[in-house]
Amino acid sequence: MEQNIPLAIALTVVTTVFFAAAATVQHTVVGEQSDGEGHDTSLSGGQLWALVRSPRWWLGMVLNGVGAIISVVALLMAPVSVVQPLAILAVPWTVLLASRIHGHRLPLRLWGAVGLAVAGTIWFAVVAVQHAVEEDVFDDAYLVGGALAGFAVAGGLAVVGWRGPQRWRCFAWASASATIFGLEAGLMKAVGEIVADGEWAQSATFWTLAVMMVVGSLAATAFMQQGYANGPAETVVGAMNAFGPIAAVVFGFVVLGEGAEVTPSAAAMMVAAAGLAVTGVVLLSRFHPATSSAQVAADPPG
């Protein structure tokens, strides 16, 4: 498909509304299924199965699905490193939706954290747009190896979510999910190119990537639900849309050759921007009223 970066950016902004609504709906359903009022607890297999039987949870999946379809179209029109960072715009929508539903009063410092996350990611995207390549490079060995490396990183983050310090579990689960979904954005672009070439049925790489994407999507969805069970939706969405773009851009640069036009100064700015975005998400997790309430409840009386 011919590149159209402005249209791809517009479509990505639309997807953020769908993803924010999906996160808010699913977080509410997960909170009803988990112990501890939906915070600081992991879901059992039975609770995960109960989610699958919930119509409202499936409403969230439909909203995610619509957003994902639009995202695929956007990815076919622009480099991964341009499109994915803009997903951070789902964070302020989620903050607003969740505050209306749960009646939270949002402190100014929380909006400051949102601002850091959004500003860092937009800065990252602007630099990426200025150094975007015209065509990606698709190498079979790099595609499979890059995907396996990404899954390994996600597995490590999932272990932190499962056994790590309580205050980091929501962030770690969401980051594990984001890592998989981020690299799968690059895989989706590669699969789309293989299909466009018309030889996908005979391509071992196509089927390998397809299986990886199905298994990865299932794992990432489960990790996301664990994130909802361990903290507020805003933290999950913030981590998803900070770590997801970072994973996608790293995959695009290393595996798809999208970093060919990036200068050392541009790379330094992108690292700084990514650090700013991640800092914003960490502060969002720390300052959110639900996180603070859960921490107070967990602390023994003095």
Say yes or no to pLDDT of 9 above 90.
no
Average pLDDT rounded to a whole number, residues 96-121: 78
Structural domain spans, the chain: 5-288
Residues 198-255: pLDDT tens digits? 778 888 999 999 999 999 999 998 998 888 888 877 778 778 877 887 888 888 888 8
How many CB atoms sit inside 10 A of residue 267's CB? Answer: 14
pLDDT category of residue 41 using cuts at 50, 70 and 90: low
The reported pLDDT for the residue numbered 104 is 67
pLDDT category of residue 281 using cuts at 50, 70 and 90: confident
| Lowest-pLDDT choice from 33-47, 80-94, 142-156, 160-174 | 33-47
Residues 111-157: pLDDT tens digits? 888 888 888 878 887 887 788 777 778 888 989 999 999 999 999 99
Q: How far apart are CA 14 and CA 5, in angstroms?
A: 14
Q: How far apart, in Å, are the Cα atoms of 264 and each of 46, 61, 270, 275?
A: 50, 40, 10, 17
Residues 149-159: pLDDT tens digits? 999 999 999 99
Q: How far apart are CA 172 and CA 43, in angstroms?
A: 15
The reported pLDDT for the residue numbered 139 is 86
